[in-house]
Amino acid sequence: MLTLAHCQPFSHLHPPLSVKRTRTRTRASMDPTVSKPAVTGFPYLPPSHRDLMVDLLSSIEARLGPTLLPSRVPPDVLYFENQQGTSQGALDIRSGAQDSSVDFILQSWLHCKVPTGDLNITTVFAFLNASTDAPHLLMEFIQGSPTSLILFMDLLPRKDLVLHPEYLDEFYNTTNLDKSRQDLNQLPQVSPYLSSSLYIRSVLSPTATAVNVNCGEGGESCFEELIRVHVSQAAKDIVGVWTNKCVNKMKALEESERVGLLKRDELIKNKTVEIDLAANLPRLFGSEVASRVVAEIQKAFRIR
């Protein structure tokens, strides 16, 4: 979600309207007996992409499950859609227990009809609290066609890496995080992706995997294989570093360090809502639905 507003597929979103579909969707949305897609179901993704998201969330749940509180997200945010039935989404947020280093874990998917076809965005955004200075986790997959994908995977640094070279060494150098980025960039179907947002580029780490995967027209089987083999391995390696090296790495911080850490985290949370969600969700889902979703995220972020 940190990157949602700055990806090319969102530059001209004007979802088409369908009166017939609107009525059908509205009745279904009001009927409590109608089953809604679960946030972990990813009903609109192709098989390899769906399997990857399920595997990533399963590994995070296996590692962090006992330290996470039950979800308190209301049903109308766990699944939501616009009145026209052209955009669907699901969002879940779980906070960490009192003795955990996890602040919250946000997972979501969005499926939108756009003039160029279907747009699917899946996100895992995991924030740690001030009991540690270890990095946050960002995983975002933005699929604008059956054969193309913009991919962001990173451990977001919480310290200035120039002022703290030991931090750079601990979390990025000795963990060999840069290998995932390098391996993907060597593939002919993969090219570096440079966000148009200077803010986003300033938040990401030097080892961030920010790439554009494009297998071209008719390249569905190539795309599926690339996601299943190469992207999956890179994503699992990064999540593995975060769960093993960063989570529950408690550290006694000086008060000045803690204050600076919290200020940096708060700025990232505010920017995520301000330049991303509040700017884009209303045009996809309408103001009422967007307000409901954003309010739930602000509650988890503890911002106004």
The model's confidence at residue 280, banded by pLDDT at 50, 70 and 90, is confident
What is the rounded distance in angstroms from the CA atom of residue 5 to the CA atom of residue 279? 8
Rounded Cα–Cα distance for residues 293 and 277 (Å): 9
What integer is the mean pLDDT of 267-296? 89
Specify the CATH number for the domain of residue 83.
3.40.1500.20
pLDDT band at 115 (very low <50, low <70, confident <90, very high): confident
**pLDDT for 29-65, tens place per residue?**
333 334 566 777 899 999 999 999 999 999 999 999 8
Query: Which tokens in the block code for residue 140?
Result: 């975002």
| Percent share of the chain, pLDDT over 70 | 88
Q: Write down the mean pLDDT value for the chain.
A: 86
CA angle 217, 218, 222 (to 5 degrees): 105
Mean pLDDT of 223-233: 96
Rounded Cα distance, 60 and 52, in Å: 12
303 pLDDT tier (thresholds 50, 70, 90): confident
Confidence of residue 133 (pLDDT cuts 50, 70, 90): very high
Structure confidence at residue 141 as a pLDDT band (50, 70, 90): very high
Helices (H) and strands (E) in the chain, counts: 11, 8
Please provide residue 261's backbone torsions phi and psi, each rounded to the nearest 5 degrees.
Answer: -65, -50
Q: Higher pLDDT residue, 78 or 33?
A: 78
Question: What pLDDT is stored for residue 304 in this prediction?
Answer: 65
- pLDDT band at 26; cut points 50, 70, 90: very low
pLDDT of residue 92: 95
pLDDT for the residue numbered 279: 78
User: 105 has which bridge partners?
Assistant: 94, 126
pLDDT of residue 72: 93
Domain ranges, residue 203: 4-301
Q: How many structural domains does the chain have?
A: 1
Query: What is the reported pLDDT for 249?
Result: 79
Could you report the per-residue pLDDT of 172-221, keeping only the tens digit for each? 999 999 999 999 999 999 999 998 888 889 999 999 999 999 999 899 99
CB atoms within 10 A of CB 244: 12
What is the average per-residue pLDDT within 118-131? 94
pLDDT of residue 251: 81
Sequence-separated (6 or more) residues with CB below 8 Å from residue 286: 82, 83
